Amino acid sequence: MDITLHNEDFFDSVGRVADASVDLVIADPPYGLGKDYGNDSDRRFGEAYLEFSRRWIDAVLPKLKPNASLYVFLSWQYAPEVFSYLKTKLLMVNEIIWDRRVPSMGGSTRKFSSVHDNIGFFAASRDHYFDLDSVRIAYDAATKKARTRSIFVGKKWLEVGYNPKDVWSVTRLHRQDPEREDHPTQKPLAIVERMVLASSPPGGLVLDPFMGSGTVAVAAAKHGRRCVGFELNPDYFATAGQRVAACAREDLFSSCSDANAAPGPLTSALGTEVG
């Protein structure tokens, strides 16, 4: 397991990462919404936020391999401008909507309730690595049975499952969720595992500039990828280290770092899509 985590400012330390060495960037920056991460990093708004976004993007670009990919988590407030900037540098492959499956209760009275995050998926070239087979979703028995007519016989897609769509419905991590750590915007492992499996080769290097509780590092460790991550807050940094260490301990007894292991939580958490 080759996971290197730094309790350092990404901007000061990005030089630790060799140019043209990264297969995949998964960036979950502060969204510019004023969250408390124990530092001022989410207290940039308007033009200051966009300047911050351009700065981290410009810092990661030289690190990408020619067939690398980049995912960025954002919300509707700044996604249009940040995606527009990224489109001047990389190819935009998808906008993925993370439907956080927020239950309907009360909510806004002067607008529609916002229940999604916007994830941009970008690639350095048309040759970007993409392993669809590792993230296909199996058809359920009823759907398979309904497609037994001769035109479907022998169809690979019916056996191997279908391509995930660009709306990912995954419940946000509640306080009671066993996966939940003490971080205000921790992302579900299931989402990040799908990105790691689809967009980085086994043994490839994943870069996380804003690692928080270390979800990207855990997904990388679990699936046999290398990872380098940066986090300002010492408590979150410690959490990330503990999560990766727990994954390493599990590895002694199970297939935690088996590059071909099926993403257990992903299948159940994302398996609600309709084929």
Binding positions for ligand SAM, rule: CB under 6 A: 9-11, 28, 30, 37, 39, 41, 183, 185-187, 210, 212-213, 215, 230-233, 236
Residues 6+ apart with CB under 8 A from 79: 95, 118, 120
Q: Rank residues 37 and 139 by Cβ distance to ligand SAM and give the closer one.
A: 37
What are the DSSP calls for 110-153, one per residue? SSPPP-EEEEEEEESSTT----GGGG-BPPPHHHHHHT-SGGGT
**CB nearer ligand SAM, residue 139 or residue 230:** 230
- Beta strands 64-74; 22-27: pairing state: parallel
Residue 266 · residue 190 · CB < 8 Å: yes
Cα–Cα distance list, 109 to 76, 91, 105, 116 (Å): 19, 38, 11, 18
Query: What is the sign, positive or negative, of the torsion defined by CA atoms of 62, 241, 135, 178?
Result: negative
Residue facing ligand SAM at closest CB distance: 212
Buried/exposed 178-187: b ≥16 CB within 10 Å, e otherwise:
ebebebebbb
Could you tell me the sign of the dihedral formed by the alpha carbons of 26, 32, 33, 39, in that order?
A: positive
Nearest Cα residue to 111 out of 85, 77, 82, 88: 77
The contacts of residue 242 (CB under 8 Å, 6+ apart) are: none
For the bound state, the minimum distance from the C-beta of residue 195 to ligand SAM, rounded and expressed in Å, comes to: 11
Shorter beta-carbon distance to ligand SAM: residue 68 or 195: 195
Nearer to ligand SAM, 83 or 162 (CB): 83
CB nearer ligand SAM, residue 60 or residue 232? 232
- Residue 192 C-beta: closest distance to ligand SAM, Å: 7
Determine contact, residues 87/43, Cβ cutoff 8 Å: no
Minimal distance in Å, beta carbon 46 to ligand SAM?
18
- Nearer to ligand SAM among residue 68 and residue 232 (C-beta): 232
Nearer to ligand SAM, 98 or 230 (CB): 230
Shortest gap between Cβ of 204 and ligand SAM (angstroms)? 19
CB of 183 to ligand SAM, least distance (A): 5
Minimum Å distance from CB 35 to ligand SAM?
7
CB of residue 250 to ligand SAM, shortest distance in Å: 19
